[in-house]
Structure 1
Amino acid sequence: MAERKTAAPSARFAALDRQLLESYRRAWESGAAAAGPYLACRIGCTECCIGVFEISGLDAWRLRQGLSALALREPQLAAQVKKRAYEQWRLLQADFPGDRTTGALAADEQAREAFFQKFADLPCPALDLSSGRCLLYEARPLSCRSFGLPCRWGAEVLPPCRLNFQGADPTIVAAATIECDPQDLEGDILQALGNPPDTVVAAALAVGSRAPGERE
């Protein structure tokens, strides 16, 4: 009998990540149905696409996979995303609260917050400003998949986007509150990955890559 091959780490993590993303998808659809007309989220609304924010090592891994897939389908679009990421990372490095070579964020929450506030008007490198589309939508970070609805994380409930639930009764907001990962599958995956550090989108897409126009 032929020996069964062990799945490559990328394939194994991709399978686990799909389970996690499915949990987020189900939670979002449930919340969106409860929110009804009070949900303003749609293509072209970029409220949650402006400003630098932290992402997990798993998010970074997914984004890189997404950029590679985009490069196969639409190489020119992928090159645009990569160029914006590289340019943005160059801009962020001087103030980056962490390792400016690897893009790993330091654990200092106060330093992180000051950094995010300083660059609160900077659009995500994956955002197509002309259309308001995310060019890496299928590979977007988990926070992008839950932003907009009120989210429960343990005993804490994060508020919804300010554009949603305007004039809604509190009971509607409560009914639309979602819990995306009740089993903490993300934590399990991060542990399996060796608990990689948090980073930002620009660093995830730019670190280790060549500058636009640079030769092989």
Structure 2
Amino acid sequence: MRKFEQDDYEESHDGREAALLRYIYAHPSLPQVRNSPSTLLSLMDDYAAKQDFLINIGSDKAGKLVKLIMEEKPKVIVELGGYVGYSAILFAYALRQATPESSTNLRVWSLEADPLIASVAMNFAELVGLSDIVKFVVGPAADSLKRLSAEGKLPKVDILFLDHDEPLYKPDLEVSEELGFLHPGALIVADNMVRPGAPDYREYVRGSSKYESWGMKGLIVPGDFEDEIEITRVR
């Protein structure tokens, strides 16, 4: 495996995403992966641990976010930064478990800027039978949010998950505020508060009377580097 600790180490978009896709489809347990989100996520974690690091949320943060979803029972989640679909698949699977009686009303909108990376994510969602819940949108997050809102697809969002470029967290939250789909009680969940960090975003949400905000510890796996997720509730 490449050295994750190196400062100059390229963490993504260098061909490893296509290699992950080939790894999954060549894996002996592929028949068990079909229609099994948990099996696919486990294999993706295994690839990240033994083959090449992936900028997914990883198993430690995944468990904490699933617990949050089970408690909140959201219907609609929007994530900015879909990457290879790990978190979108995790969220959709958790939504279906949390509210099985409302499965037809569940939606995960996964916004990813890179069309090639998004195609990998789409393939995985189809593989595990979640393409009815997860919908991928390709393009810059702000543009995609505006288009979805104009099309009437975002009347109400229960969780907004920020996991794209950290300098865009604050401006894209401001776009979301302008579009008005974050209702009182909704959550904004921002990853990577320590590495690489988003200080302007954290200062904004913690300094605004519109929000109640707190941190939740998590690990970047592999490597067990400590990180933090910012949880923000709309008042």
TM-score normalized by the length of structure 1? 0.34
More strand by share: 2
**Greater gyration radius:** 1
Higher relative contact order (CA 8 A, sep 6+): 1
TM-score normalized by the length of structure 2? 0.32
